Amino acid sequence: MLGSMAGILFDGFAYGMLLFLLSVGLSVTLGMMNFINLSHASFGMLGGYVTVTLMQQLGWPFLATLPAAFVISALVGMVMERFMFRRMYRATDLDQTLLTIGVVFMSIAGAAYIWGTVQQPVVMPDYLSGSFLVGGVNIARYRLFLIVVALVITLLMIGGLEWTRFGAQIRAAVDNQRMARGLGLDVDRTFSLTFSLGSGLAGLGGALAIAMVGLDPGFAFAYLIYVLIVVSVGGLASIWGSFVAASLLGICDMAGKYYVPQLGSFLIYLMMVGILMWRPVGLFGKR
Amino acid sequence: MANMADVLLDLRNVRAGYGDSVVLDDLSLEVKEGESLAVLGRNGMGKSTLFLTIMGFTRLTGGSVSWRGEDITRLASHRRARLGLGWVAQEREIFPSLSVEENLIVMARPGPWNLKSAFELFPRLAERRRAMGNQLSGGEQQMLAIARSLMINPSLLLLDEPLEGLAPIIVEELAASIGRMATEHGTTIVLIEQHADVALSLTRKAVVLERGAIVHRAASEDLLADSKTLDRYLGLKLEVI
């Protein structure tokens, strides 16, 4: 019993870390730049297809595709921010929602057109496959790898935002755009880089997700819901909040499917409603 | 006509405002290197709008703005700041989620002003360097706002009511610091101030703004002695502090 509980905690946490990678970029762009980007999970999906294509068509090793998934999603994010989303920063919430949901539909149709509607198979390298036992708990190598990657990225992000000048410039631009400009900050460029970074992280999350949850064109919608739950439960603009919310969500989802399978995914929505009733701004949100 | 090389900022027949409303109308103003200028006027006469227009934050519908002889009428705000225009906003606008030190270094540019010299000018900021922007008193915020703009090492500093709402003792201290900036460091200063007496004693030249236009120009010294003009435009009898 204890062993299975520890196993669920581990698997749930690993799943949570996947959700964290997919959503942390949105927490930043939605919370800091006030842009409702429902197409965020589409960037995750793009990263997934980059990995699949590089592995299947060009025979790249899995690990080498991860930076590529990050870079390509980041570049596509930067281009879309520059030519489409930037114009909408001052638009109403509804306009932003409509535009980005349109992008979701287009990304789904585009992915189905290029890669088909089937699940994309990927074969993980040996050193990331299989599992080993620690104190009776079954530890899947790939899930451990996910956790390590997510922890490293969390530290990099929190450190980058809190301790670098670029991080301070992002916070300054978010606090007061006009004053930041008045002091010489190219706010448009700062937001463009931030947006691009967020899209890149989603792409990395998408690439890492395939081995755990599969990949098909439905990804952009299926994970949009999870990503929005993570951001709202964690609180806007809080990296740490996203981390905690994603962990909770992952563990609840795993536990729910294991102990009360008849409830299915219902448990996580129940958790979300409960937390938001208790704290409407999310666990670590300020507004 | 002044030597063009000496002219830092040159506004010609500027017409500007927000949306459809026009606040400044046919306003011309020249600021030379090393000069100190007081901008006086009652509330709502367009003093802050003048600064916002210089920084490129208003809608300009007529006239031109030049910087060292180059037209910057359509230049983005952040580029104006990088050219050497420093602006201390009336509401101070400290970044709340940055510490005092971060507020200072976030946009700092190389030059004589650095953390060390800023802390020398405002020792209080050195004591509070780890405090967050939203934990400061009004006086500390004002010191930080000024120091933050100095850190970009501007050639010209626009100060919008830096003494507003501060305790008298802090007003004295800040006024002394502003005076030192002008005299010892040779920073060119344009100062908006409700306390006309303080503003005039800190500057060499003065203009009076009324309904978005300059209605009076004088040497600060002369205007300080000219209580009739002051009374007419500012509606105040000077009290000696």
- A81-118, pLDDT tens digit by residue? 999 999 998 899 999 999 999 999 999 999 999 999 99
Residues B30, B54: contact at Cβ < 8 Å?
no
Whole-number Å distance between alpha carbons of A247 and A150 = 11
Indicate if ipTM > 0.85: yes
Residue A243 lies in a domain: yes
Identify the pLDDT of residue A192: 93
Q: Within 10 A of B112 (CB to CB), how many other CB atoms are there? A: 10
Distance CA A216, CA A213 (A): 10
Shortest distance between the Cα of B133 and any Cα of chain A, in A, equals: 11
Q: Which of A177, A179, A186 to mutate to test the interface with B (most CBs of B within 10 A)?
A: A179
Q: Which two tokens stand for residue A131?
A: 């599992």
- Contact assignment for A183 to B148 by CB distance below 8 Å: yes
B236, exposed or middle or buried, with CB in 10 Å at 0-12, 13-18, 19+?
middle
Query: What's the confidence (pLDDT) of residue B236?
Result: 61
CA A120 to chain centre: 20
Residue A81 within any structural domain of the chain: yes
Please say whether the beta carbons of A255 and A263 come within 8 A: no
With an 8 Å Cβ cutoff, the interface of chain B facing chain A consists of 55, 57, 76-79, 81-82, 87, 89, 93, 95-98, 102-103, 105-107, 109, 133, 148-149, 152
**In whole numbers, what is the pLDDT of chain B averaged over residues?**
90
- Rounded to an integer, the average pLDDT of B177-200 is 86
CA distance B213 to A167: 42
Residue A225 has pLDDT above 70, yes or no: yes
What angle do helix axes A2-33 and A187-213 make, rounded to 10 degrees? 160
Substitution target from A166, A171, A181 for chain B, most B beta carbons within 10 A = A181
In a domain, A131, yes or no: yes
d(CA B11, CA B33): 15
> Which among A43, A36, A40, A41 has a CA at the least distance from the CA of A97?
A36
CB contact (8 A) between residue B106 and residue A168? yes
Mean pLDDT, all residues of chain A: 91
The tokens describing A226, both together, are 């999870």
| Residue B2: predicted pLDDT | 47
Q: What is the DSSP string of A27-74?
A: HHHHHHH----TTHHHHHHHHHHHHHHHHHHH---HHHHHHHHHHHHH
Q: Using the beta-carbon criterion (under 8 Å), do A180 and B96 form an inter-chain contact?
A: no
Q: What is the pLDDT of residues B64-98, one digit of tens each?
A: 999 999 999 999 999 999 999 999 999 999 999 99
Q: A224 near A101, Cβ under 8 Å?
A: no
- Cβ pair B98:A175 closer than 8 A: yes
User: What pLDDT, on the 0 to 100 scale, is given for residue B3?
Assistant: 52
CB contact under 8 A, A168 and B152: no
Please give, rounded to a whole number of angstroms, the shortest distance from the CA of B61 to a CA of chain A.
20
Q: Which two tokens stand for residue B99?
A: 């510490």
CB atoms within 10 A of CB B113: 23
Confidence of residue A265 (pLDDT cuts 50, 70, 90): confident
Between vectors from CA A19 to CA A13 and to CA A20, what angle results, nearest 5°?
A: 85
Taking CA–CA distances from A187, the nearest residue in chain B reads: B78
Query: Cβ A181–B78 below 8 Å, yes or no?
Result: yes
B98/A172 touch (CB, cutoff 8 Å), yes or no? yes
CB B16 within 8 A of CB B182: no
A166: distance to nearest CA of chain B, Å? 8
Question: Given pLDDT bands bounded at 50, 70 and 90, which one contains residue A1?
Answer: low
CA-based nearest residue in chain A for residue B87: A182
Percent with pLDDT over 70 in chain A: 98
For residues A11 and A139, give the distance between their C-alpha atoms in angstroms, rounded to a whole number.
8
Distance from CA of B99 to the nearest CA of A (A): 9
Whether B219 and B205 have beta carbons less than 8 Å apart is answered as yes
Q: What are phi and psi of A74, to 5 degrees?
A: -65, -40
Q: How many CB atoms lie within 10 A of CB B5?
A: 10
- Among A55-64, A94-103, A121-130, the minimum mean pLDDT is found in A121-130
Confidence of residue B61 (pLDDT cuts 50, 70, 90): very high
CA dihedral (B168, B170, B175, B181) in degrees, to 10, reads 180
Asked if residues A235 and A285 have their Cβ atoms less than 8 Å apart, the reply is yes
Q: Which residues contact B121 (CB under 8 A, 6 or more apart)?
A: B147, B150, B177, B180, B181
Q: How many domains does chain A have?
A: 1
What contacts A79, CB < 8 A, 6 or more positions away?
Answer: none
Is residue A286 situated within a structural domain? no
Give the pLDDT of residue B207: 95
Instruction: Say what the pLDDT of residue B241 is.
Output: 44
Nearest to B106 among A169, A186, A187 (CB): A169
Between residues A54 and B173, the one the model is more confident about: A54
Q: Domains along chain B?
A: 7-234 (3.40.50.300)
Contact A243, A13 (CB under 8 A): no
- Report the C-alpha gap between B92 and B146 in whole angstroms: 8
B109–A184 C-beta distance less than 8 A: yes
- Residues in chain B within 8 Å Cβ distance of A186: 76, 78
CA nearest A176 in B: which residue? B95
Query: In a mutagenesis test of the A interface, which of B67, B94, B101, B106 is the best target, namely the one with the most A β-carbons within 10 Å?
Result: B106
- What lies within 8 Å, CB to CB, of A160 at 6+ separation is A166, A167
| Residue A283 falls inside a structural domain | no
Q: CA of B14, closest CA in chain A: separation in Å?
A: 20
Angstrom distance (rounded) from CA A275 to CA A145:
29
Structural domain that includes position A138:
2-278
> Which residue in B77, B91, B144, B157 has the most chain A C-beta atoms within 10 A of its own C-beta, making it the best mutation to test that interface?
B77
Q: CB distance A184–B107 less than 8 Å? A: yes
In this complex, the residue of A165, A175, A187 whose CB is nearest that of residue B95 is A175
Partners of residue B109 in chain A, C-beta under 8 Å: 184
Whether A272 maps to a domain, the answer reads yes
In a domain, A55, yes or no: yes
DSSP secondary-structure letter at B99? Answer: B
Would you say residue A123 lies in a domain?
yes
The reply to whether residue B95 touches residue A172, judged by beta carbons under 8 angstroms, is yes
Pull the structure tokens for residue A220: 């952009």
Q: Do A172 and B109 touch (CB under 8 A)?
A: no
| Residues B117-169: tens digit of each pLDDT | 999 989 999 999 999 999 999 889 999 999 999 999 999 999 999 988 888 88
Average pLDDT on A188-207 reads 94
Amino acid present at B143: M
Flag whether pLDDT at A264 surpasses 50.
yes
Mean pLDDT in residue range A155-175: 91
Least trusted range by pLDDT, from A254-263, B17-26, B116-125? A254-263
C-beta neighbour count of B217 within 10 angstroms? 12
